[in-house]
A and B are shown apart, each in its own frame.
Chain A
Amino acid sequence: MKKTFVILILILLVFGAAQFVRPHITNPPVTQEIPVPDSVMAVLKRSCFDCHSNQTRLKWFDKITPANFLVASDVRAARAAMNFSNWDSLQPSDQRSMLFLAVNEMRIRQMPLKSYRVMHPGASLDSNDVAILENYLAAISPRTPNDSITAVGMAVQKAARPGQQGVQVMPAVNGIRFFNGFDKWRALSTADRFETFSVRVIYGNEIAVKAVEEKKINPWPDGAVLAKSIWTAKTDTAGNITTGEFVLVDFMVKNSVLYASTFGWGFARFKGITLQPWGKDPSFAKFCMACHQVVRSNDFVFTYPMTPK
């Protein structure tokens, strides 16, 4: 009995002493707060600002050691990923992309983090909150007619197609090569992305097509390759959209062993009509994974493949 009492006292002493060791969580100056309507701001402040801004408000239990170390770590990571108080540090197109990513994470209840929601139940989002954000994103993503100016860019690209001239395409930095002839593969689906003003065709190689035909795509088999080719959305005044300038082609190469550290997929991107491999070192894949982790329950693939006839 006496021994238990001593141990308890010791634990309390250590716990008390630990309170003098705490991380430094500051609120640096706000350079530009995200400019959004009040209804949107209310949702962001309630559910996101504690971590994704320089206006962090800590509850009393957030300040207790050792929990505060976890809080500090989360806040640092969150501010590095997206900071609503330094909104001017992002290009306008990146600002919109980040918001779309955030909303898509909210839709699957990945954000706010479950660990945060447990301790801060008021930060949880319901469908109305998400709808407010979605409606705002739709409003800032208008389909503006651009057919005249796009035609000029298309003419330039037509004159400079490296594939037509037999130019060798360099592989991506992780060794994934450019798949010549991907555009002859079967189209598994198409996509019209109003948030990036682009249209896309998603192709599959023979292994991918076979997997679709056999309905075995979760997980996709090793050897499957998906190609996502992207064009700007050439839009006319009547609201008709078709492909404009070629933007890039992304490849996802399934090999659950070789690419175990990147969801079992090797990612590669070749940009522009000259197909320049994107990424200075293999860590570029983290940018791919940032979005694809949203669909982890579907083997990290967004596409719903159409079953061939």
Chain B
Amino acid sequence: MANNATDKDLITRVQASAQKLKVAATWSHGPSLNVADSFLLELFLLFRIVEDLQNTYDVEYDPGTFPNQNVFPQSGAAKQTRPKFLVKDKASKQILCQICPGTRVSDRGGHERAIDISFQTATSPDVPTLQHLCQIFDAKYRKNDLKRITSHEFSEFARWIDLFQLQGKSAGLTFKALTDLNAHCLVTNGEETTEKDTERQRRALREIANFHPNKKYKPFPP
């Protein structure tokens, strides 16, 4: 026989929890939240990069301007007026690099592609092209974190490195703890592909698996 007091208490908790879910899922007055879009992983990666680089550089936040001041794009957007970070030499205060979240850059065919996080040259303009690009990051969120980056995603990222002619390029920044991020990185909360390290090296990319606040990430190749 069920205990009525406990039953009622649990139903009350279920109702309260469902009400909170409704609020969280709707996200203020705006669109409903879809974490599958990877933007939480992207933002986490962005701020972790900034945090790490603060050890070695002065990092300045440029909030952008109206109408996109402090507005980070969930999917790709034009760079103009959007927020970015400026990485400066601590001593000379000279800008070394721009860190741009979610902005579009045109590839060698003139086709614009939205890059989750890109390191761009100090003088990269509001409408950047491949020559302003130094390093790219792509975030792949897995709802089920036992799932791998797919071979299709791997090939697509490798293709972008090719389309942006990024083989051998790097921003040359020194990371302190996240040293493995000094590469073109395919980052996921899930698991890595089944590709071999030789293939990853040939494609000039690194996979970062288990990139999660409570886990130690795994770099491939190490």
* A and B part of one assembly: no
Which residues does A use to contact B, with CB under 8 Å? Answer: none
Which residues does B use to contact A, with CB under 8 Å? Answer: none
